[in-house]
């Protein structure tokens, strides 16, 4: 203990007039514990790399979102976007708070049902819903969000065959400033396709349009896009009320709220520029003010927030495997978690911090993953203190999309654990082994 | 569905018996039978009374009066009394039979006329005034009838073997039915006891006062006036002490005072009527009741004694209903006010607050939004925009009419105030007579309610702001009894409020939030509401098992009555009124037998808020009446008016279940505990209910659901 830790010498070129080592303030702080649980203990118990989810953060974010919108709308329902992270433990933590489910495939639908969600509380999105999926959804009373005219046809066929009259939503796409047009999903509002779809569904007399849905896009940092979207949805709902006497049950504004990550192309850090839930809520409320509904027929507001809810709850703990000096003078680290686990490293400048106290002068550093592939870069440039092999790093805000988009590539996938609100730790998904892999494989008889 | 068919004879008998029991303010069959027996102690008048009742029913039908009222004996008790009077006053029998129809017709017509006149003009009941007036008419005409002889109302001999006081009491009771004899009185007393122990006690009170007065201060020449003093006193004591007012200490005291007043009236009546040779009958009771009821309705505060402003039953029922109502729904008698916003707000100044909620304006509340970090604003809060509550919607707390709007006052910079317009922008809504709610300090130009507009609870009135006497953005809310600004505030309570942060949230049936309380309205989650979607006409069959393995099947039907009240009805007469519209399932008092499916439902889920399962806990109060053994029930009935009891408090929690939710309840009953558990399933409703107490278990399992 008394012996000071060895600190490697660092050569830093002094550039006169520029920022230099003598004026820099050390801003990085180690993250030694996650919700009170020591990171090395987690690794000792569950191995490295390891995804760690904080239930406390997850629930806090959910409540922050719910509170922010509930202050402005009497009925707010949050439908958990399964594709963002459909580990049962994550879904159940949110369902316990009252979240509905938003699914985009038959598989996700099945998961939601098994998590105890009633059909009526599942919103079924996506451009691909085979007849079998529609059958399952309609017989449960699930809310199918229709995406295209062929799907209207298919849905009508299924409904007639089952002898039910399902309530459906139609998905709209629209032009708003601040978000790129996602015209491939749903019916276009501006060119009249959307109202045409409503007329078509009414003429078909097999389905009831009971809700509107629009998902603008992803990682939208400009809240005014939501103001415009909400206003257009409100106006469309007014048209439905005026022309057809249809009062929709809910207006689903989709998801797309930015998390506190920083995009590659972004100059300021996400923590500073990402709008708060309250700011999004205010914009949506401004837009929705245009909606006219008689007392008692006001639609609920549905949110399909995924990323902004779960991103901050997830961390990836990884171990430094090697230090390396690159020819251009930069230092590099080889860690045991790579792009196979962090799909989001292609989008974000991930926030990486050491999991133990450190010293020494930060240097420009590249963080490489373990894969024997050139693309396996976690961060291509960050100022990072010197690390020793075996040191632990925590990559923060990785809760969204990674444990659904990760690849079983080159190596097995690691374990996922959750730290409960009382500090208990339990696995959400066991570390894969070779057996996991082989369980699905077959060897043709002529090769065995 | 089995149609209930009843023979005409049975319903006729019921209506006839109701005519008897109605004199004691009830429709109980047993009471009717006993009273009939009491009248038959004087056989002649008893039979003539019965004949008058039957005759009056024929008259009501022929003349086309309300059969609804007739079935309830409302047209029968005056003819009954008049018939008894004919029997008592007219000799010989043929003459009596001759005048009887005329008397009955006169009574029915007079009753109808008076009911409309007195009822519409003064909102007073007719009581037995028609009987009194027609009997006088009869007595006035009698001397001119050729064959008729006025009988001298014979006071029967004293029953020597009874103590004088008891004998006098019984004779007074009998005298109400023109049979002033101990035997008749005993039958009436028995009827009174069956009907209500409290009423019996009140009759003793009334009699005791009259008896003491007669003994000490009054002197009459004949025997009838003392009897009249006694029975009028008894009737007044019962009517005011337990029927028109909730039986409590105050109502007993009030009844005692009213008995003194009645005695005065009786003596005065004797003075005026004696020269005319007319008996006072129960005129003093009628006069005293009119006087007292009308006067008491002019009170500003209806309490101690509290008038029965609900559908009255026996005094026991009235008391139980009233106490349960206070325990479950508060005592302020306000409409069910909701918090005037959506989402979770924090009280920053409560009633009797340190800043401005003082003096005439003490009953007011300030609300702001405070975040998880305990702050009301972001950043340094130097502009109104920084405050979380800035421009959040402010909503109507209940249905009402907007009667005043101010929308032009500019919002203040932080830390400044506007003394010229202390209320700033505001919306004043009238919710009822002398009941106004005021939301103020709204943001300039944000008010979208218009004067004269009718708004529903939860409708947006405007946006929270910083206008008027407001340093930082907040919402000021108060209830007042006058429509002008600056009117004194009055007490306020909000209904169905969830208080506390997410992890310790509790539902309060009614609440006056205090400073620092975090409060919100009920959510009304669809997924929970689905489990309480009880369609009218649908039938559920339950297998009910009791201790010792006794089991029976019950069909429970969802019904709606004439007044739009929903109720569940089981095969027999068990009923459970409920509502499921206001973001919760709410069971009202249970009427029926113990150990039945509806009894179990009532005990296990007197209330279930439509909240995310597990999110909130709540408590409620069950009526103790259903949990007492019968024999102690009668004893405690006598003590109840004088002992403050608040029913059986239960604490409940819910938890998500596979196809719905489970509600678990716990109550302490004496030393024993009552534990309940009920499963509510989507689309099926209450599907499994269990109640455990004293080591015994009752259970009801849903076996079949049939939709209408």
More confident residue, A205 or B333: A205
pLDDT at B96: 87
Task: For residue B670, report the phi and psi dihedrals to the nearest 5 degrees.
Answer: 60, -125
B372 touches A at CB < 8 Å: yes
- In what helix (H) or strand (E) does residue A416 lie, and over which residues does it extend? strand A415-419
More confident residue, A21 or A202: A202
Q: How confident is the model at residue B632 (pLDDT cuts 50, 70, 90)?
A: confident
Least confident of A206-210, A406-410, B224-228, B489-493: B224-228
Is B606:B623 a contact under the CB 8 Å cutoff?
no
Domain presence at residue B175: no
Among B393, B458, B656, select the one facing A72 at the smallest CB separation: B393
Task: For residue B651, report the phi and psi dihedrals to the nearest 5 degrees.
Answer: -115, 135
- pLDDT at B154 > cutoff 60: no
A71 CA to chain B: closest CA distance, Å?
4
pLDDT at B377: 93
Average pLDDT score over residue span A136-163: 97
Q: Do B491 and B603 fall into the same domain? A: no
B252 vs B240: CA distance, rounded Å? 8
Among B344, B393, B612, select the one facing A67 at the smallest CB separation: B344
pLDDT at B7: 62
Instruction: Look at residues A115, A67, A74 and name the one whose alpha carbon lies nearest to residue A91.
Output: A115
- Coil/strand/helix, residue B316: helix
pLDDT at B223: 64
- Joined tokens for residue B278: 């007319």
pLDDT at A210: 96
Domain presence at residue B132: yes
List of residues 6+ apart from A337 with CB closer than 8 A: A48, A49, A316, A318, A369, A370, A378, A395, A414
Least confident of A418-432, B315-329, B403-417: B315-329
B29: domain CATH number is: 1.10.3430.10
- The full DSSP string for B324-336 is HHHHHH-SS----
- The full DSSP string for B41-77 is TSHHHHHHHHHHHHHHHHHHHHHT--HHHHHTTTTTH
pTM above 0.80, yes or no: yes
Question: How buried is A374 (Cβ within 10 angstroms: 0-12 exposed, 13-18 middle, 19+ buried)?
Answer: exposed
Q: How confident is the model at residue B2 (pLDDT cuts 50, 70, 90)?
A: very low
Q: How far is CA B235 from CA B17, B40, B128, B586, in A?
A: 19, 21, 11, 37
B658 vs A53: CA distance, rounded Å? 26
A145 vs A138: CA distance, rounded Å? 12
Contacts of B459 in chain A (CB under 8 A): 295
- Joined tokens for residue B107: 């009574």
B583 touches A at CB < 8 Å: no
B682 CA to chain A: closest CA distance, Å?
9
Residues 618-677 of B with CB under 8 A from A: 656, 658-659
Average pLDDT score over residue span B165-185: 90
Residue of A59, A95, A96, A98 to mutate when probing chain B, most B C-beta within 10 A:
A98
B391: domain CATH number is: 2.70.70.10
B388 vs B370: CA distance, rounded Å? 7
B285 CA to chain A: closest CA distance, Å?
51
Domain presence at residue B492: yes
B101 vs A6: CA distance, rounded Å? 121
- pLDDT at B390 > cutoff 60: yes
Decide the pairing of beta strands B393-395 and B489-490.
unpaired
Q: Do B552 and B654 fall into the same domain? A: yes
pLDDT at B217: 79
Which residues make beta-bridge pairs with A124? A103, A144
- B267-276, B297-306, B379-388: which has the highest mean pLDDT? B379-388
Average pLDDT score over residue span A100-114: 97
Helix boundaries (H) for B74-163: 77-89, 93-122, 129-141
For chain A, what is the radius of gyration of the CA atoms? 25
- pLDDT at A51 > cutoff 70: yes
pLDDT at B71: 72
Residue of B343, B392, B654 to mutate when probing chain A, most A C-beta within 10 A:
B343
List of residues 6+ apart from B479 with CB closer than 8 A: B334, B337, B363, B435, B436, B437, B438, B489, B490, B491, B492
Which residues make beta-bridge pairs with B557? B539, B569
Average pLDDT score over residue span B375-379: 91
Among B344, B459, B656, select the one facing A295 at the smallest CB separation: B459
- The complex's ipTM works out to 0.89
pLDDT at A310: 97
Least confident of A55-69, A417-431, B50-64, B143-157: B143-157
- pLDDT at B659 > cutoff 90: no
> Can you say how many angstroms the Cα of residue A400 is from the centroid of all Cα atoms in its chain?
4
Q: Do B517 and B597 fall into the same domain? A: no
Q: Do B483 and B530 fall into the same domain? A: no
**Domain residue extents for chain A:** 33-53+312-433, 55-311
- pLDDT at B68 > cutoff 80: no
Is A91:A112 a contact under the CB 8 Å cutoff?
yes
- In what helix (H) or strand (E) does residue A65 lie, and over which residues does it extend? helix A55-70
Q: Do B41 and B110 fall into the same domain? A: yes
Q: How far is CA A362 from CA A337, A394, A395, in A?
A: 22, 17, 17
CATH 3.40.50.300 fits A55-311, yes or no: no
Q: Do B513 and B532 fall into the same domain? A: no
Q: Do B1 and B150 fall into the same domain? A: yes
- Joined tokens for residue A180: 């790129």
- The full DSSP string for B353-398 is -SSS--GGG-SEEEEE---TTS-SBSTT--SGGGBTTTT-EEE-SS
Domain presence at residue B210: no
pLDDT at B156: 55
Contacts of A282 in chain B (CB under 8 A): 391
Least confident of A3-7, A13-17, B9-13: A13-17
pLDDT at B3: 38
Task: For residue B616, report the phi and psi dihedrals to the nearest 5 degrees.
Answer: -135, 155
Cβ pair A74:B530 closer than 8 A? no
- pLDDT at A37 > cutoff 70: yes
CATH 2.40.37.10 fits A33-53+312-433, yes or no: yes
B685 vs B531: CA distance, rounded Å? 5
Query: How many Cα atoms are found within 13 Å in the side-chain-facing hemisphere of B237?
Result: 28
- The full DSSP string for A186-243 is SEESTTSHHHHHHHHHHHHTS-EEEEEE----SSB--THHHHHHHHHHHHHHHHHHHH
Split into its structural domains, chain B has a count of 3
- Coil/strand/helix, residue B421: coil
Q: How confident is the model at residue B4 (pLDDT cuts 50, 70, 90)?
A: very low
- A44-58, A167-181, B541-555: which has the highest mean pLDDT? A44-58
A118 CA to chain B: closest CA distance, Å?
8
- In what helix (H) or strand (E) does residue A79 lie, and over which residues does it extend? strand A76-81
B703 vs A15: CA distance, rounded Å? 84
* Residue B629 zone, left/alpha/beta (φ > 0; ψ -120 to 50; rest): beta
Helix boundaries (H) for A262-352: 270-273, 277-288, 307-310
List of residues 6+ apart from A188 with CB closer than 8 A: A172, A173, A174, A194
- Residue entry with tokens 């990682």: A219
Residues 479-538 of B with CB under 8 A from A: 502, 520, 523-527, 530
B231 vs B221: CA distance, rounded Å? 18
Sign of CA dihedral A214, A216, A221, A224: negative
Q: How confident is the model at residue B136 (pLDDT cuts 50, 70, 90)?
A: very high
Domain presence at residue B203: no
Least confident of A193-202, B326-335, B468-477: B326-335
- Residue entry with tokens 């009821």: B293
Q: How confident is the model at residue A203 (pLDDT cuts 50, 70, 90)?
A: very high
- pLDDT at A229 > cutoff 70: yes
pLDDT at B160: 66
Q: Do B500 and B648 fall into the same domain? A: no
Shortest CA distance from B389: residue in chain A = A71
Q: How confident is the model at residue B150 (pLDDT cuts 50, 70, 90)?
A: low
- pLDDT at B312 > cutoff 90: no
Q: Do B483 and B501 fall into the same domain? A: yes
Beta-carbon count within 10 A of B639 CB? 12
- Residue entry with tokens 């029998």: B93
Give percent of chain A with pLDDT exceeding 90: 86
pLDDT at B5: 47
Average pLDDT score over residue span B677-700: 92
Among B369, B458, B659, select the one facing A71 at the smallest CB separation: B369
Q: Do B377 and B481 fall into the same domain? A: yes
Is B515:B350 a contact under the CB 8 Å cutoff?
yes
Q: Do B574 and B681 fall into the same domain? A: yes
Question: How buried is B219 (Cβ within 10 angstroms: 0-12 exposed, 13-18 middle, 19+ buried)?
Answer: exposed
Cβ pair B343:A96 closer than 8 A? no
Instruction: Look at residues A91, A61, A83, A64 and name the one whose alpha carbon lies nearest to residue A313.
Output: A61
Q: Do B497 and B568 fall into the same domain? A: no
pLDDT at A15: 65
Residues 373-402 of B with CB under 8 A from A: 378, 388-389, 391-393, 395
Residue of B340, B527, B530 to mutate when probing chain A, most A C-beta within 10 A:
B527
Shortest CA distance from A281: residue in chain B = B392
pLDDT at A23: 46
Q: What is the pLDDT of residues A312-365, one digit of tens each?
A: 999 999 999 999 999 988 899 999 999 999 999 999 999 999 999 988 888 899
Is B254:B303 a contact under the CB 8 Å cutoff?
no
pLDDT at B495: 93
Query: How many Cα atoms are found within 13 Å in the side-chain-facing hemisphere of A174?
Result: 30
**Which range of residues forms the domain containing residue B39?**
1-156
Instruction: Look at residues B463, B477, B441, B471 and name the one whose alpha carbon lies nearest to residue B365.
Output: B477
More confident residue, A361 or B408: B408
Residue of B518, B526, B615 to mutate when probing chain A, most A C-beta within 10 A:
B526
Cβ pair B344:A71 closer than 8 A? yes
Question: How buried is B543 (Cβ within 10 angstroms: 0-12 exposed, 13-18 middle, 19+ buried)?
Answer: middle
């Amino acid at each position: 203990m008394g012996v000071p830790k060895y600190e490697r010498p660092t050569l830093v070129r002094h550039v006169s007039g520029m920022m230099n080592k003598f004026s820099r303030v050390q801003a990085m702080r180690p993250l030694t514990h996650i919700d009170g649980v020591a990171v090395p203990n987690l690794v000792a118990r569950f191995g490295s790399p390891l995804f760690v989810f904080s239930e406390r953060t997850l629930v806090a974010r959910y409540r922050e979102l719910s509170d922010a919108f509930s202050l402005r709308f009497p009925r707010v329902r949050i439908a958990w976007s399964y594709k963002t992270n459909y580990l049962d433990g994550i879904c159940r933590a949110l369902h316990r708070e009252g979240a509905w489910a938003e699914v985009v495939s038959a598989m996700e639908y099945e998961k939601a049902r098994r998590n105890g969600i009633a059909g009526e509380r599942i919103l079924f999105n996506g451009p691909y819903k085979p007849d079998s999926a529609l059958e399952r959804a309609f017989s449960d009373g699930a809310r199918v969000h229709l995406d295209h005219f062929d799907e209207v046809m298919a849905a009508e066929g299924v409904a007639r065959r089952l002898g039910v009259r399902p309530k459906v939503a139609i998905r709209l796409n629209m032009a708003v400033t601040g978000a790129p047009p996602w015209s491939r999903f749903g019916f276009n509002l501006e060119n009249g396709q959307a109202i045409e779809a409503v007329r078509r569904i009414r003429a078909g007399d097999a389905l009831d349009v009971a809700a509107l849905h629009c998902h603008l896009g992803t990682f939208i940092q400009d809240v005014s896009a939501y103001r415009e979207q909400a206003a257009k949805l409100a106006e469309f709902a007014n048209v439905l009320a005026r022309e057809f006497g249809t009062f929709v049950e809910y207006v689903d504004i989709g998801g797309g709220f930015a998390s506190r990550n920083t995009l590659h192309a972004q100059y300021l850090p996400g923590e500073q520029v990402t709008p708060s839930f309250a700011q999004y809520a205010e914009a949506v409320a401004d837009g929705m003010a245009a909606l006219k509904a008689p007392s008692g027929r006001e639609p609920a507001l549905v949110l399909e927030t995924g990323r902004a809810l779960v991103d901050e709850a997830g961390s990836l703990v990884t171990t430094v495997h090697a230090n390396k000096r690159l020819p251009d003078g930069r230092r590099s680290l080889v860690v045991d978690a790579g792009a196979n686990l962090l799909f989001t490293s292609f989008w974000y400048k991930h926030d990486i911090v050491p999991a133990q106290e450190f010293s020494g002068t930060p240097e420009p550093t590249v963080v490489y993953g373990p894969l024997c592939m050139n693309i396996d870069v976690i961060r291509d440039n960050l100022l990072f203190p010197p690390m020793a092999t075996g040191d632990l790093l925590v990559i923060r805000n990785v809760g969204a999309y990674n444990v659904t988009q990760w690849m079983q590539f080159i190596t097995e996938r690691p374990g996922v654990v959750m730290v409960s609100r009382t500090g208990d730790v339990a696995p959400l998904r066991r570390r894969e082994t070779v057996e996991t892999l082989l369980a699905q494989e077959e060897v043709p008889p002529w090769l065995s | 569905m089995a149609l209930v068919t009843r023979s005409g004879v049975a319903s006729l008998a019921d209506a006839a018996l109701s005519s008897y029991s109605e004199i004691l303010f009830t429709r109980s069959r047993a009471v009717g039978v006993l009273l009939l027996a009491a009248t038959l102690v004087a056989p002649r008048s008893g039979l003539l009374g019965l004949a008058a009742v039957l005759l009056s029913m024929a008259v009501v039908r022929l003349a086309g009066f309300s059969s609804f009222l007739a079935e309830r004996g409302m047209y029968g008790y005056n003819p009954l009394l008049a018939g008894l009077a004919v029997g008592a006053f007219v000799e010989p029998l043929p003459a009596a039979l001759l005048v009887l129809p005329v008397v009955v017709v006169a009574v029915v017509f007079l009753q109808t006329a008076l009911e409309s006149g007195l009822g519409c003009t003064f909102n007073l009941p007719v009581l037995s005034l028609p009987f009194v007036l027609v009997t006088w008419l009869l007595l006035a005409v009698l001397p001119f009838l050729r064959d008729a002889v006025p009988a001298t109302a014979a006071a029967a001999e004293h029953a020597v073997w009874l103590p004088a006081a008891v004998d006098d009491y019984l004779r007074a009771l009998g005298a109400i039915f023109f049979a002033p004899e101990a035997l008749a009185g005993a039958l009436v007393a028995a009827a009174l006891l069956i009907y209500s122990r409290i009423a019996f006690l009140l009759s003793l009170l009334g009699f005791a006062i009259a008896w003491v007065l007669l003994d000490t201060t009054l002197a009459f020449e004949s025997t009838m006036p003392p009897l009249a003093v006694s029975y009028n006193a008894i009737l007044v004591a019962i009517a005011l002490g337990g029927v028109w007012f909730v039986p409590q200490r105050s109502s007993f005291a009030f009844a005692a005072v009213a008995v003194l007043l009645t005695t005065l009236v009786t003596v005065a009546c004797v003075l005026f009527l004696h020269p005319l040779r007319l008996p006072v009958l129960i005129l003093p009771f009628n006069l005293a009741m009119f006087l007292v009821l009308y006067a008491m309705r002019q009170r500003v505060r209806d309490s101690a004694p509290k008038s029965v402003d609900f559908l009255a039953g026996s005094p026991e029922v009235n008391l139980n209903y009233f106490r349960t109502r206070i325990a479950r729904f508060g005592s302020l008698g306000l409409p069910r006010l909701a918090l005037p916003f959506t989402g979770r707000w924090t009280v920053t100044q409560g009633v009797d607050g340190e800043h401005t909620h003082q003096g005439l304006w003490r009953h007011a509340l300030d609300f702001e939004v405070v975040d998880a970090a305990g702050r009301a604003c972001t950043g340094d809060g130097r502009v109104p925009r920084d405050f979380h509550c800035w421009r959040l919607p402010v909503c109507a707390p209940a249905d009402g009419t907007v009667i005043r709007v101010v929308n032009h006052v500019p919002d203040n910079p932080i830390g400044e105030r506007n003394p010229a317009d202390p209320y700033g922008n505001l919306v004043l809504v009238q919710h009822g007579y002398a009941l106004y709610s005021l939301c103020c300090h709204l943001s300039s130009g944000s008010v979208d309610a218009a004067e004269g507009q009718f708004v529903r609870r939860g409708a947006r009135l405007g946006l929270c702001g910083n206008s008027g006497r407001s340093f930082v953005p907040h919402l000021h809310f108060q209830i007042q009894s006058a429509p002008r600004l600056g009117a004194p505030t009055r007490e306020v309570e909000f209904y169905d409020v969830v208080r506390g942060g997410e992890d310790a949230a509790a539902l309060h049936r009614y609440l006056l939030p205090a400073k620092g309380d975090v409060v919100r309205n009920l959510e009304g989650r669809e997924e929970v509401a689905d489990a309480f979607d009880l369609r009218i006409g649908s039938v559920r069959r339950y297998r009910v098992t009791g201790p010792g393995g006794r089991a029976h099947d019950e069909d429970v039907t969802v019904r709606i009555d004439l007044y739009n009240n929903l109720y569940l009805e089981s095969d027999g007469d068990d009923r459970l009124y409920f509502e499921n519209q206001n973001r919760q399932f709410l069971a009202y008092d249970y009427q029926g037998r113990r150990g039945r499916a509806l009894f179990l439902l009532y005990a296990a889920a007197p209330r279930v808020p439509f909240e995310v399962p597990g999110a909130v806990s709540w408590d409620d109060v069950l009526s103790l009446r259903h949990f007492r053994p019968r024999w102690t029930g009668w004893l405690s009935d006598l003590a109840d008016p004088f002992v403050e009891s608040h029913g059986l408090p239960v604490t409940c929690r819910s938890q998500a279940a596979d196809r719905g939710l489970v509600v678990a309840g716990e109550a302490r009953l004496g030393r024993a505990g009552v534990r309940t558990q009920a499963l509510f399933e989507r689309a099926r409703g209450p599907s499994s209910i269990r109640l455990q107490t004293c080591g015994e278990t009752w259970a009801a399992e849903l076996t079949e659901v049939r939709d209408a």
